[in-house]
Amino acid sequence: MALDITTLLNFIFAVIIVILGLWVFRVKKLIIALYIALAFGLFAVSHLAILLGTPSSNISIIIIRSLAYLVVIYALAREAMR
């Protein structure tokens, strides 16, 4: 199995966004930051699974990524309606 640099970078950036989202939530108490951290945590899990050999077409990867997108959609819609 060859290392996929794109997936590795996606994983690293997703983890950084999780850390930043948690930090912003802790400092500013912005709930949207917590939702973003949750979504990118899910993306990080999917990227890690792919790095460990799970095919990207696996149904669990599709479900995890779909949930992550739904969390972002919910967070932005919630913020827009405030």
pLDDT tens, residue by residue, 2-11: 789 999 999 9
E strands of 1-82, at which residues? none
Average pLDDT, integer, range 16-29: 98
Q: Domain range spanning residue 32?
A: 5-80
**How far is 2 from 76, CA to CA, in rounded Å?**
37
Q: Total domain count for the chain? A: 1
Residue 2: its pLDDT value, please? 72
Q: Residues 25, 33: contact at Cβ < 8 Å? A: yes
Residue with tokens 């966004």: 17
Q: Which two tokens stand for residue 49?
A: 């699974």
**How far is 31 from 70, CA to CA, in rounded Å?**
16
Tell if the pTM clears 0.75, that is, is over it: yes
